[in-house]
Structures are given as structure tokens and as C-alpha cells.
Chains A and B, each alone.
Chain A
Amino acid sequence: MSQSRIMPGFRPALGFTLFYLGLVVLIPLSTLIFKSLQLGWQDYVNIITHNRVLAAFRVSFVTALVAAAIASFFGFIIAWVFTRYSFTGKKLMDALIDLPFALPTAVAGIVLATIFQPSGILGKFLIDSFNLRIAYTPSGIVVALIFISIPFVVRTVEPVLQEFDSRMEEAASSLGATRLQVFTKIIFPNIFPALLTGFALAFARGVGEYGSVIFIAGNIPYISEIVPLLIVTKLEQYEYAGATAIALTMLVISFALLLFINLLQMWIRKRSGQL
């Protein structure tokens, strides 16, 4: 590397970046670790293995997983329809997909709660016809998380489908593959890594989601109480240590899962020769 740089502004730009990153992100985040360190191992284990905490973790991760899976399914169909077919109003629909990104989570929360509550438009219909309660059950959490997740899936799959080389399909067809075979053997394997990315993003977001969930969840301990809410509850009772322990655990698990999914994705890419 040369002793000085041709492009101007290296020192101020990097200096400010590091200073601001440290001040706004790194120092605050490090409190989580230091605060946890003040806690003894036994105290930590006691907090984390409390039944209510374990139940909350189960609720958070299971609902996020289910929601991400459902969102991946529908998101894939939506991305497929948007890239393959044309119909009037497609542009508008496409823009609308980002609504969950743009709509504040609290607004999403109260709207979904109102729709799915037993007296709500859909809530009443589902109870009357299928005896299915959505609001104030774990299903309600799943519904809220599907809403939040859908753009993650659509926006990661859409560009890959768009750039998919349709000559591969034509080649497969010319070799005698049926339409189903073309899909399962040609298209899906090429789209799968992107779908997995979308799934991972949706899942990561879902685990930490708070605003859109708490209104529809009912927040019944052991049944429909999510981890973020438990953290808030602990904070409101000034149990800082408990809140910190739970928060750190959640962060570590989420990061580990994301790392795992990233590795999985790399493995899939490598295996299918896309790396």
C-alpha cells in the first residue's frame, strides 16, 4: 500500500465512521455483554431456565419459524406471478409488497388485531366457519409475523427469478423434460439459495419483532408470550439483570442461527456450482 492516497478524504471519512459507529452502536451494544458478565453463571442459568422464559423462547422461535416458512411459500408464489405473468395493476401490487417495510409496526399490530379479533371481519368468519381462533393465540403471532416477513421473501426471490436464464428451461424442454420436471430440476434448484436467504431474513426479523405482535398475541405467559415482550416486562419491573440475560441469550441464538443458515447457503451454492 502506498504511503499516501490519491483519493481525498480518507482520514476524515474513516475517522468519523469509526467514531460514530463506536458511539452509536458498539459502546451501547457492549453494555449487554458487560452487564451479563456482572451476573454469575448460576444466576444466569436460573434466569434462563425459568419455565416462563423457556416457554417464551419456544413461542418466539417456533412462531418465527412457522411464519417464515409460510411467508416463503406465499412469497415465492407472489414473486413467481410478478416475474412470469403480466396483468393490470401489477405495478401497484408490486409496490404494495413493501407496505410492511414502510408501515410502522404498531399500526400493523393494531390493524391485524382488529381484523382477527373474535369480533373482527376475518376473526368472526374464521371462528364461525372453522372454529379457528387467531387473535390472542400463538396463531395470531404467526399471522403478524407473516405480514412482517412477506417483503423479505419476495424482494430476495424476485430479482433472481428475473435474471433466471430462460434458455436453461428451453434446453431442458428440448431434452424432453416435462413442465413439472423443468420446475423441480431446473428452476427450483437455481432459486433455492435466494429463497433460503429470504427465509433467513424473515426468520431473523420475526424472532425479534415486537410492535406488530403484542397487540394480536394476547401475551398469555407460557402460551403466547414472546421473548421481546418478556424483556420489556422485566424492564418495567426494573429487573435489569434478568432482561439483559434474556436479551443476550436471544442475540446469541439469533446470530448462531443466521451463521448456520449462511453456511448452509454457501454449502448449497458450492454444491450446485453457483459459487
Chain B
Amino acid sequence: MSILLNNISKNYGTFSALNNINLEIPAGELVALLGPSGCGKTTLLRIIAGLEYADEGRVILNGVDETDQHVSRRGIGFVFQHYALFRHMTVFDNVAFGLRVKHKRDRPSETIIKQKVHDLLNLVQLDWLHNRHPDQLSGGQRQRIALARALAVEPSVLLLDEPFGALDASVRKDLRIWLRNLHSQLHVTSIFVTHDQEEAMEVASQVVVLNKGIIEQQGSPSDIYDHPANAFVSKFIGQTNVFHVDSPSRLWLESTGLRPAMETQIAHVRPHDIEITKAVNESGASAIIEDWQHLGALIRIVLSNNLPHNETNTLVYAEMSNESFKQLELRKGDKVDVRIRQVHWFH
């Protein structure tokens, strides 16, 4: 089931939450809506769900214009940020709810409901909890029950609002992989909202980056990482060194052998794109080792520039593997040659 958003705008008073959003999501994808808080990603998700109406624009699900359709008739599954499990119902009744409130002529028999609910609970591996109430579950269990509940009505689109936001770091890691596997089993078109770029990159097949109510970029995780469309995306996804080309850093960039084009103003360099070698000739070296930190398998090296007139000494971060770092046998204060493998130039 494909999702097509046409010129969606939404304002709260004078604040423009979404500004002319156009988005096409092919069937079967697992899409992350990624952006900083307040960028409009949750609003967009709620508009797709029908939990909010856009001021302008159309929402087309699988070729059918659902813009004015009420949430209860859109056939979507929604997993709320804090799960919104029905506190007064057991896990079983929560999952069965969507089936039981169906109109009489569409409602399956109680035996079929029972079978279906147990199947779903087995799918999320929590059938043994079917008699519990939500307040007796852990955060991760609640999340999976919320997912099972949303899946019970066989939604054509699954929408998840910050699905891992309220979980502990360790549980979050496990659930990310689990969600990805679940999606590859079910193939239901899914969109989840997140502010965590790592999560988006790890789970999603497509990432949509939002900022201040507009879409900055849409693409596969590797696409977005390797070819950021603009400075915002580049900075938001992963670590990066930012150089303003009109400042002394221009000289430094040139000292590493780069030639900025005239019209570019900003250069972004990822830490792992900076290669360090022992200085061949100390006076011609472009950087000095200031400090380093261990990040597990990687080492983060803090460099300062080695320009003759160095007024503003901006620090530059580089990363390399532990192994190669050891081989270089560097000490603080050593002068090094720097080669930049890849730069993203922005206006």
C-alpha cells in the first residue's frame, strides 16, 4: 500500500508546523521520519493517520483520497509514543479491542478473535502475558503489545510515533532489530517517527529528514549519509567537522591540498574521512595532535591546525581504528600530515 502526500500544510496559529509537504512512499517500505524535536514529524504522522487534519493538501493511501476520512475508517494502525494501552483491560482484551468494536456484519466470531489474538501475541512473543494488565508490564513489553494491538485490525499502513522513545537504551537496541525483522516478515508499509539518527539509519529502508516543517531530503540511509542534500542533513546525520570557507580555516583546508570553489561557503568533513600520517617535514605539517579519546573500536583524535599565523585555532576531529592509531605511535604535540578523503561543499 503506497502513501502519497500532496502539498500538505498545517499551521497552529501563526506557527507553521508543516509547509507544503510532498512525499511518496512506495508499498512495503519501512520509513523513518527523522528530525529534531518540533520539526513537524509527529504532526505529519498524525495527519497520515487521520488523528489530525491538514489545513491544505491531500492524503492518498493506495490511490484512494483519504484526506477527509475519519481516523476510525482509514484502516491504519497507530502505535502511540507512550503506547496508550487501555489501562483497565488485560493484554488480551487490548489486542482484541479493534476486532470486537467492528460492526456486527464484519466482526469475526469470538473463537476466531481468540485465535487471532493469540497468534499476534505469539508473533510479538508475549502470549504468556495475555492475562496481565498494562501496568504489570515492562516498557518493552508494553511497546510490543501496542504493536500487536495495532496489527490486529490488519492495517494497510502501520504508523509508529517515537516507538523506542520511552525505553531504556539496552531494550531499545534489541527492539530496533526486532522491529526490522518483524517488518521483513509482514511487509506492511510502515512509517516511524524518530529524532535519533542512529535509530533511523539502523531500522529504516528509507529515511525522510524533516526540519522546520519542510522535507530536507528523502532517500536510503546510505544515500543520505553519503550524499547529504544540504548542510542541515549533513550535520544532523552523523558527526561532522564544519569549516566556514571565508575564515582562516580556508587556509587550513588549502594546506591539506583542497581547493574550495569560489561560490561555496561551508565545508563538511566527516571525522573518518580525515586521514593522518606522521609529518614528513615538520614545518610543512598541517596539524598538531592535541588529545585523543577511546570510543571502543575507534579512536577520536583532536587536532589543531599548524598554520604559521594561527589566530583562531579551531579544533578538528578525526577518527581512525584503534589498530592503525597504535601503529602510528603518536604522542601529544606531534605534528602530522592530514589528507581529506571526502568533503561536502555547501552554499
A contacts B: CB pair < 8 Å:
yes
Closest beta carbon of chain B to A10's beta carbon, Å: 13
Within B43-102, the residues touching A (CB, 8 Å) are 50-53, 55, 68, 70-71
Query: Would you call A6 an interface residue if the criterion is a C-beta within 8 Å of the partner chain's C-beta atoms?
Result: yes
Q: B162-203 interface mask toward A, CB cutoff 8 Å, 1 = contact, 0 = none?
A: 000000000000000000000000000000000000000000
Please determine whether B55 and A6 come into contact, CB atoms closer than 8 angstroms.
no
Q: Mark A147-177, 1 if CB is under 8 A from B, else 0.
A: 0000000000000000000000000000000
| Nearest-neighbor residue (CB-CB) of A3 within chain B | B53
Count of residues in B whose CB is under 8 Å from the partner chain? 8
With both chains docked as a complex, state the minimum distance between the C-beta of A86 and any C-beta of chain B, in angstroms. Answer: 28
Residue on B nearest A5 in the bound complex, by CB? B53
Q: Which of A1-33 contact B (CB under 8 A)?
A: 2-4, 6
A131 to B70, CA, bound (A): 76
Which of chain A's residues have a CB closer than 8 A to the CB of B68? 4
Interface residues on A, range: under 10
What's the minimum C-beta distance from B70 to chain A, rounded to whole angstroms? 7
Chain A contacts for B55, CB-based, 8 A = 2
- What is the distance, in angstroms, from A5's C-beta to the closest C-beta of chain B? 8
Smallest Cβ-Cβ distance to A2: which chain B residue: B53
Q: How far is the CA of A2 from the CA of B50 in the complex (A)?
A: 12
Among A2, A3, A4, A6, residue most surrounded by chain B Cβ atoms (within 10 Å): A6
Contacts of A4 in B (CB 8 A): 53, 68
B68 to chain A minimum Cβ distance, whole angstroms, is 8
Contacts of B51 in A (CB 8 A): 6
Q: Give every chain B residue within 8 A of A6 (Cβ-Cβ).
A: 50-53, 70-71
Q: How far is the CA of A74 from the CA of B85 in the complex (A)?
A: 45
CB of B210 to closest CB in A, whole Å: 20
User: What's the nearest-Cβ distance from chain B to residue A74, in Å?
Assistant: 40
Q: Considering the chains assembled together, what is the distance between the CA atoms of A3 and B50 in angstroms?
A: 13
Which residues from chain A contact B53 at a C-beta distance below 8 Å? 2-4, 6
B53 vs chain A, min Cβ distance (A): 4
A259 to nearest B CB, angstroms? Answer: 30
- With the chains together, A250 CA to B269 CA distance in Å? 76
Closest to B71 in A: A6
User: Closest Cβ of chain B: how far from A9's Cβ, in Å?
Assistant: 13
Q: Please give the distance in Å from B262's CB to the nearest CB on chain A.
A: 48
Min CB distance, B122 to chain A, in Å? 33
Bound CA–CA A270/B320 (angstroms): 55
**Interfacial chain B residues near A2, Cβ < 8 Å:** 52-53, 55
B159 to chain A, nearest CB (A): 14
Q: How far is the CA of A2 from the CA of B53 in the complex (A)?
A: 6
- Counting chain A CB atoms within 10 Å of each CB, the highest count among B52, B53, B68 belongs to B53
Closest to B53 in A: A2
Closest Cβ of chain A to B3, distance in Å, is 19
Cα-based distance from A189 to B69 in the complex (angstroms): 55
Residue of A nearest to B70 (CB): A6
Q: Which residue of A lies closest to B54 (CB)?
A: A2
Scan B254-289; emit 1 where CB is below 8 A from any A CB, else 0: 000000000000000000000000000000000000
> CA separation between A2 and B57, bound complex, in Å?
13
Residue of A nearest to B68 (CB): A4
The CA-CA distance from A4 to B71 in the complex, in Å, is 12
For B52, the chain A residues whose CB sits under 8 A away are 2, 6
Contacts A6-B52, A6-B71 supplied; 10 other A-B pairs, CB < 8 Å: A2-B52, A2-B53, A2-B55, A3-B53, A4-B53, A4-B68, A6-B50, A6-B51, A6-B53, A6-B70
B interface residues (Cβ-Cβ under 8 A, vs A): 50-53, 55, 68, 70-71
> Can you sample 8 A-B contacts with CB below 8 Å?
A2-B52, A2-B53, A3-B53, A4-B53, A4-B68, A6-B52, A6-B53, A6-B71
Residues of A within 8 A of B (CB): 2-4, 6
The 6 tightest CB contacts between A and B, nearest first, are A2-B53, A6-B51, A6-B71, A4-B53, A3-B53, A6-B52
